[in-house]
Amino acid sequence: MKSTLGDKIRSRLKELGRSQGWLAEQANVSDTAVSKWISTGKISRKSAQDAARALGISIDVLIGAEPANDESGQNLALIYADADEIRLLTLYREASEMGRALIRTAADAAPKAENLESTPFRNKS
């Protein structure tokens, strides 16, 4: 059985421990609008983008589009991203080719997460 938009929103809010009011605030809409998305399963493209971003899921997952497949035909795993990660991805996609090259260079030079855990942190106070 296919999940409806309302089921997905309710489920994700429960996973996050958030309310419909919180989602309304994050998506910059009224509480009534969120209730209508859940009850009718209808949502505008802009609201879907905002709701998906707030819920930490892709728009495809939110609206029920089929997941993408890789060359082997297996479904690709979904990756949840926080707001900062989504912002960085959006900025990268909107950047010029020169901007993308600079971002790649900076990313290659940045310490990786596993290195940060072993790096001692000193408070300079």
CATH topology for 5-63 is: 434 Repressor (Amino-terminal Domain) (1.10.260)
pLDDT score, position 108: 87
For the whole model, what pTM was predicted?
0.52
Residues 109 and 29: their CA atoms lie apart, in Å, by 40
pLDDT band at 116 (very low <50, low <70, confident <90, very high): very low
Residues 45 and 49: their CA atoms lie apart, in Å, by 6
Residues 5-59 have pLDDT tens digits of: 999 999 999 999 999 999 999 999 999 999 999 999 899 888 988 999 899 888 8
Residue with tokens 């994050």: 26
Q: Where are the chain's structural domains?
A: 5-63, 83-118
